[in-house]
A = this chain, B = another copy of it.
Amino acid sequence: MHVVITGAAGFLGQKLARKLLSGEALTAPGGVKREVLKLTLFDVGTPAADIVQDKRVTAVTGDIGDGAVVRRLIAGDVASVFHFAAVVSAGAEADFDLGMRVNLDGTRHVLEACRALKAPPRVVFTSSAAVYGGDMPKVIADDTPLTPQTSYGAQKAIGEFMVNDMSRKGFIDGRALRLPTIVVRPGKPNKAASTWASSIIREPLQGDDVVCPVDPSVAMYVLSPRRVVEAFVHAHELPAAKLGFNRALFLPGITVSVKEMLDALKRAGGQKAVDRVKFVPDAMIRKIVAGWPPRFDAVRARALGFKADDNYDQIVQAFMQDDLRRNAA
């Protein structure tokens, strides 16, 4: 079957691409499980060479905000779409119009192109915990209302409403996953306000010093790249009837404080790794992170078979096995 991943040059897109190319079978429209024989990877940039060189892969660069581009991308025999392309939180806040173009219009273009296919395809849309904010309960539950306090969060919430309504209409068979903070990300620190949550593990284990801008008491709701890629596939494979009307859910994660993260870093890399972390408070980052809900009770997602990591040590080990080698090489 032919699968499209948007935002495929991002680290999650690339990890999903590798998983699908490893022989993963997905359910095609009609209910038959088929191997992924054609994989179209769309992004503004190009995924890693080892992915693009695969004979099943076509890499397409373009602007997700351009409807004509998306209609050409999602056409013909496309059977499933993983839609990850997005302008991240800080970017959508700095440039409102860009966020609306990519996060709202881009998502709408994807869903409309899916609707135009012969059979309604399964669509996995990445939403975010940024749909929550402001006055929240101490623990986010499945029925907590969406109260985004960023343009990114608002655009993701709008995307969820479109996925739900177009699924209800039978135009698509959508699934929207609100992701915890994904740690430990490979690569380099980026401009996300959460980037330190990966950096404080990754950089010391790679032998570099790193600054932590928040207090040791700060807690994050996190999930590993391994588990979230499994969740993308699991979400795709869930029968629509099990989801019912509401196609959006937040994924199970674990809540970990910075202190607990550094304790795990010590177990993995010793005191010399921990000594590479310097606490330099950043008022802006602290304020943004304080607005994120650290605790969720993912009753619905767990009942649907989604799984969190067992503990933070497991997350660190997965990073060392999957990504530390690659970066060090």
Contacts and interface: CB of A to CB of B under 8 A. Distances in A.
Interface of A: 96, 134, 143-149, 151, 154, 157-158, 161-162, 164-165, 168-169, 171, 245-246
Contacts of A151: 165, 169
Contacts of A144: 145
A245 B149 contact: yes
B165 A148 contact: yes
A96 B245 CA distance: 18
A307 B82 CA distance: 47
Nearest to A131: B161
Q: Specify how many copies of this chain sit in the oligomer.
A: 2
Contacts of A169: 96, 151
Contacts of A134: 245-246
13 contacts: A96-B169, A134-B245, A143-B145, A144-B145, A145-B146, A146-B146, A148-B164, A151-B165, A151-B169, A154-B161, A154-B164, A158-B161, A158-B162
A157 B161 contact: yes
A153 to B, nearest CB: 8
A206 to B, nearest CB: 38
Nearest to A99: B165
A70 B96 CA distance: 20
Given A145-B143, A147-B246, A165 B161 contact: no
A272 B164 CA distance: 47
A220 to B, nearest CB: 23
A144 B147 CA distance: 12
A149 B168 contact: yes
A134 B154 CA distance: 22
Given A144-B145, A147-B245, 11 more contacts: A96-B169, A134-B245, A145-B146, A146-B146, A146-B161, A149-B168, A149-B245, A151-B169, A154-B161, A154-B164, A158-B161
Quick one: which of A143, A158, A246 has the most chain B CB within 10 A? A158
A154 B159 CA distance: 11
Contacts of A158: 158, 161-162
A148 to B, nearest CB: 7
Contacts of A165: 148, 151, 154
A164 to B, nearest CB: 7
Quick one: which of A145, A161, A245 has the most chain B CB within 10 A? A161
B168 A162 contact: no
A124 to B, nearest CB: 19
Nearest to A152: B165
Contacts of A162: 154, 158
Nearest to A93: B169
Contacts of A154: 161-162, 164-165
A134 to B, nearest CB: 6
A96 B165 CA distance: 10
Nearest to A168: B149
A134 B145 CA distance: 15
A165 B130 CA distance: 13
Nearest to A96: B169
A229 B147 CA distance: 28
A145 B145 contact: yes
